[in-house]
Amino acid sequence: MTDRIVALRLFVRVARAGSFSRAARELGLSQPSASRIVATLEKEIGAALFTRSTRALSLTEAGAEYLARVEAILAALDEADLAARGTGELRGVLRVGASSSFTEHAVIPRLDDFLGRNPKLRIMLLVHDQRQALITEGVDVAFRFGSLGDSTATARRLGSIERVLVASPAYLRRAGRPKAPADLNSHAIIAGPMGTDGWTFEKDGRRVSLRLEGRLVVSANEGAVAAAVAGLGITTTGIIALRKELANRSLVRVLPDWRMGSVDVHAVFPSGRAAKAAARALADHMTGAFRE
């Protein structure tokens, strides 16, 4: 890779991370080296790209315009390299954002085949249960659920995950098994990331919505599932996160004749630049997780 390309990629990471030290770590450089490379780039083009202070680093007006143009150039260069190789082999680093539960149950199980077909590709999994800021965190593709709100990012629907209600056999022996959605009002409810505001059930054309209060509130999906396994109450989540527990019967479905609907899963790409070929390829690969 030429020195100019190294400088441009470094510039993009500094701009997106808002930090020389963080960008340097990600690219295997020292912070002084990163600062020197960007300073040389600024001297070569004859314009200041960043406004520097002891507390903050921000793009100048020229830097913001340069960033938009450079990202498009680097994306086109990556595509040209891929086309020239003619093998479809992906290279470089792909930064992937996803929740901890989806990473564990859907992404990681499918990575072996994907990486096996692309041995020169590196993947950085950025695992957060809160939605990442794609631009500032340098995420190439993120997997997100449900409504995307007013996001200006480019999104592609991959499939949907059935939402189910579960509890442990021990809890149901102790508290009794609900026979209708209204019975949930007298049960201990574990509120996971999906919350308890407006659980909706459908059966034979009949629709029932409930507002329930969680006796236990857990911010991470794995915690809600673990609490249900421990017999603390009834919870709901996507069935993809419950395959092991349903198979070994540490959890069983509650109200199985009532449907709770499904949650759409999207691959989301940062706006303002073309999606990386590797990001698009991983999104294609992940659609298989919803056909199994």
Residue in 276, 45, 77 with CA at minimum distance from that of residue 11 = 45
149-207, pLDDT tens digit by residue?
655 568 889 999 999 999 999 999 999 999 999 999 999 999 988 766 678 999 998 99
Q: Do residues 154 and 142 touch, judged by C-beta distance below 8 A?
A: no
Per-residue pLDDT band at 1 (split at 50, 70, 90): very low
Q: Report how far residue 288's alpha carbon sits from residue 292's, in angstroms, rounded to the nearest whole number.
A: 7
Q: Which amino acid is at 131?
A: R
What local confidence, expressed as pLDDT, does residue 79 receive?
72
Domains of the chain: 3-85 (1.10.10.10), 92-159+264-290 (3.40.190.10), 161-263 (3.40.190.290)
Compute CA distances 94 → 46, 88, 121, whole Å: 31, 15, 7
39-79, pLDDT tens digit by residue?
999 999 999 999 987 777 888 889 888 887 887 788 778 77
Q: Do residues 285 and 148 touch, judged by C-beta distance below 8 A?
A: no
> Residue holding tokens 């499918």?
110
Q: Report how far residue 121's alpha carbon sits from residue 93's, in angstroms, rounded to the nearest whole number.
A: 6
Q: Where are the alpha helices (DSSP H) in the chain?
A: 3-17, 20-26, 31-45, 61-85, 100-102, 108-117, 169-175, 221-229, 243-247, 277-286
Q: Report how far residue 43's alpha carbon sits from residue 152's, in angstroms, rounded to the nearest whole number.
A: 34
Q: Do residues 80 and 109 touch, judged by C-beta distance below 8 A?
A: no
pLDDT (average), residues 242-258: 95
Q: Report how far residue 209's alpha carbon sits from residue 117's, in angstroms, rounded to the nearest whole number.
A: 46
Determine if the pTM surpasses 0.85. Answer: no
Cα 281 from chain centroid (whole Å): 15
Q: Report how far residue 190's alpha carbon sits from residue 194's, in angstroms, rounded to the nearest whole number.
A: 10
Task: With H, G, I as helix, E, B as strand and everything else as coil, classify residue 39.
Answer: helix
Residue in 190, 201, 197 with CA at minimum distance from that of residue 163 = 201
121-165, pLDDT tens digit by residue?
889 888 887 665 666 666 889 998 877 765 556 888 999 999 999
pLDDT (average), residues 23-48: 89
What local confidence, expressed as pLDDT, does residue 41 receive?
92
Q: What is the mean pLDDT of the chain?
A: 86
- Token readout for 248 is 């070994």
Q: Do residues 78 and 269 touch, judged by C-beta distance below 8 A?
A: no
